[in-house]
Amino acid sequence: MTSPLPAPPPASTFARDVRVTWWYTAASIAGFQVFGLFIWTLLMVLRASTPAIVLFVAGGLGSVAVSLLLMARYRREPLDIGDVSGHRPVWPLVIAGIVVGGVTGAAAGSLLLAVVLGAQTLCLVRWRAGIRMRLVVLLIVVIVAAWVIEVTRLNPAGYVADAFGVGLFLAMLPPLTATSLWWWDIVRELDRARRAEGRLAAAQERLRLASDLHDLQGHHLQVIALQLELAEKMLARDPAAAVEQVRLARTSVDEARRGTRELATRFRGVPLPDELANAADLLRAAGLRVELSVAPDAADAPADVLGPVIRECTTNVLKHGGGVSASLALMHRDGGWVFTIDNDVREVRGTGGSGLDGIADRVGRVRGTVDAGHSGDRFRVTVRVPEGVLA
C-alpha cells in the first residue's frame, strides 16, 4: 500500500504555541489599557462630578471594546495584506475608536487621554510595510505635545497635572501596542516559515524520487526501444538474430522492473525510529503537541510492514484529527511489535474508510491485527505485528 504525502495544513491554522503567544499579546495590550483607565477612574471619583464619571466610564468601555474588535481583526488578517485602504471595514472601527477616545478625554478634561486613546486605535491597524514605524514615531511626538499642552496650558493646577504618573503610564500604551503586534507578526512569520519548510521537504523528496525514477526508467526504455527497433529491421533477413534482440529486450524489461523495485525498497526502507521521528516532526509542524515513545530495539521491527502503516496513520491524523495533541509509540511486547497512535479530535467521526481498511489488509497479510476506535474525545489506532515477519 502506498500512502500519499499529506497535504499541508491550511494557512489559517496556527500551531498551539502560536495561539498562546497571541493570547499573551492581546491580554497584555488589553490589560494595560484597562488598568490605566481604571486608575484614572479612581482619580475622577475623588474629584469629578457624577455625570462626568458616567460619561468617562462609558467612553472607556467603548474604547476597550473597539480595541478588542481591532485586535480580533488583526489576528485574522494575512501577513501580506498590503495597504489597509483596500479593506474598508476597518475604518468604521478606527473612526469609532477615535470618537470614543475623544469622548473619554473630554469627560476627563484631558487632551492627553483623548490623544492617547486615538493613537492606540491607529496602532491596532495592520498598516502596509514601512508605515507602522513612521506612524508610531509621529504619534509619540503628538502625545508628547499633548502632554506639554495639558500640563502647561489646559490644566496646570488640576487633577490631571497631579496624575502625571497615570498620564505617562497611558502615554506608553500606543508604542507598547505597536511593538507587541510587531512581535506577533514575527512569530507568525516564523510559523509560516516552519510550515513552508515542511512543504519544501516533501516537495524535495518527490523531486528526488521523480529524478531517480526518470533516470532509471529512461535508460532502460531507451535500450529496449533500440533493441526492438533492431529486431524489427533484422526480422526479414536474420530471424535468429531478431529473436536474440527480442530476448535481450525482455531481459532489459526484467532489469527495469528489478531496478524499480530496488528504488521503491530504498525509499520505503527508512529505519522505523527515523520514520517515527519524521512523523512526529510532521505533526508538530502542523501545530500539534506530540509525545513519542520508541523501543530501544525499534530498528529491528519490520519496516516494510510498519513503515507504510505509520505514514498512513500520520496522514489520517492530519486529514481528520483537527485536534491539538497526539502520541506515537512503538514497543516490543509479547513476542511482537505494537504501534499505537492516539490523537484528540474535535468531533466524533466514523472509523471506516479506505485508509484504515488498507492498514488492516496490509497487517492482516502478516497475521497482525488492527484495533481502532474512539474513547471520549480521542481516537486511537493500535497495530500488532508478529516478530520476524516479511511484507
| pLDDT tens track for 227-239 | 888 888 888 888 8
Q: Which domain holds residue 233?
A: 194-268
pLDDT in the model for residue 365: 87
Let me know whether 223 and 149 are in one domain: no
**Is 6 inside any structural domain?**
no
Q: Which amino acid is at 250?
A: R
Let me know whether 316 and 261 are in one domain: no
Minimum mean pLDDT range among 206-215, 259-268, 309-318 = 259-268
CATH number for the domain spanning 308: value is 3.30.565.10
More confident residue, 153 or 58: 58
How is residue 84 annotated by DSSP?
G
Does pLDDT of 55 surpass 60? yes
Let me know whether 95 and 211 are in one domain: no
pLDDT in the model for residue 128: 77
Which of residues 219, 242, 268 is at a domain's end? Answer: 268
pLDDT digits (tens, 9 = 90+) for 153-191: 766 665 554 456 677 778 888 989 988 998 888 888 887
Query: How much of the chain exceeds pLDDT 70, in percent?
Result: 83
**Is 177 inside any structural domain?**
yes
pLDDT in the model for residue 87: 47
Let me know whether 252 and 378 are in one domain: no
What is residue 383's three-state secondary structure? strand
Let me know whether 115 and 187 are in one domain: yes
**Is 391 inside any structural domain?**
no
pLDDT band at 31 (very low <50, low <70, confident <90, very high): very high
pLDDT in the model for residue 27: 92
CATH number for the domain spanning 262: value is 1.20.5
Q: How far apart, in whole angstroms, are the C-alpha atoms of residue 127 and residue 359?
A: 50
- The pLDDT of 134-154, averaged and rounded, is 85
Q: Containing H/E element for 171?
A: helix 164-171
**Is 370 inside any structural domain?**
yes
pLDDT digits (tens, 9 = 90+) for 345-381: 765 554 445 578 888 888 888 888 999 888 778 889 9
Does pLDDT of 8 surpass 60? no
pLDDT in the model for residue 46: 82
**Is 353 inside any structural domain?**
yes
Minimum mean pLDDT range among 12-21, 55-64, 254-263 = 12-21
Q: How far is CA 32 from the centre of its chain?
A: 28
Q: Quick check: pTM over 0.85? A: no
pLDDT in the model for residue 370: 92
**Is 146 inside any structural domain?**
yes
Does pLDDT of 84 surpass 60? no
Does pLDDT of 275 surpass 90? no
Burial (CB count <10 Å: 0-12, 13-18, 19+), residue 23: exposed
Let me know whether 174 and 228 are in one domain: no
Residue 158 burial (CB count, 10 A): 14
pLDDT band at 315 (very low <50, low <70, confident <90, very high): confident
pLDDT digits (tens, 9 = 90+) for 116-126: 999 999 999 98
Let me know whether 160 and 283 are in one domain: no
Q: Containing H/E element for 117?
A: helix 111-123
Let me know whether 31 and 167 are in one domain: yes
Q: Which residues fall within 8 angstroms of residue 167, CB to CB, at 6 or more apart?
A: 110, 112, 113, 147, 150, 160
pLDDT in the model for residue 12: 41
Minimum mean pLDDT range among 66-70, 206-210, 358-362 = 206-210
pLDDT in the model for residue 266: 63
Let me know whether 77 and 105 are in one domain: yes
pLDDT in the model for residue 63: 93
Burial (CB count <10 Å: 0-12, 13-18, 19+), residue 367: exposed
Could you identify the residue written with the cell 504619534? 139
Let me know whether 372 and 294 are in one domain: yes
Q: How far apart, in whole angstroms, are the C-alpha atoms of residue 60 and residue 40?
A: 10
Strand partners, 385: 337
pLDDT in the model for residue 338: 93
Q: How far apart, in whole angstroms, are the C-alpha atoms of residue 139 and residue 179?
A: 13
Between β-strands 322-333 and 289-294, what pairing exists: parallel, antiparallel or unpaired? Answer: parallel
Does pLDDT of 114 surpass 80? yes
247-257 as b/e: b if 16+ CB within 10 A:
ebbeebeeebe
pLDDT in the model for residue 165: 65
Cell numbers found for residue 290: 506530540
Let me know whether 287 and 228 are in one domain: no
Burial (CB count <10 Å: 0-12, 13-18, 19+), residue 152: exposed
Nearest alpha carbon to residue 287 among 39, 42, 98, 20: 20
Per the structure, the count of domains in the chain is 3
- Please tell me the number of Cα atoms within 13 Å of 314 on its side-chain side: 30
**Is 48 inside any structural domain?**
yes
Query: How much of the chain exceeds pLDDT 90, in percent?
Result: 20
**Is 58 inside any structural domain?**
yes
Between the CA of residue 231 and those of 58, 224, 225, 234, 249, what are the distances in Å?
A: 94, 10, 10, 5, 9
Let me know whether 260 and 116 are in one domain: no
Which of residues 170, 192, 214 is at a domain's end? Answer: 192
Minimum mean pLDDT range among 144-153, 154-163, 219-228, 291-300 = 154-163
pLDDT in the model for residue 273: 86
Q: Which amino acid is at 303?
A: A
Which of residues 268, 283, 303 is at a domain's end? Answer: 268
Report whether 363 contacts 342 (CB < 8 A). Answer: no
Does pLDDT of 35 surpass 80? yes
Q: How far apart, in whole angstroms, are the C-alpha atoms of residue 92 and residue 72?
A: 15
Task: Please give the sequence-ordered ranges of beta strands (E in DSSP) within the chain, or none if there are none.
Answer: 289-294, 322-333, 336-345, 369-375, 378-386
Does pLDDT of 103 surpass 90? yes
pLDDT in the model for residue 200: 76
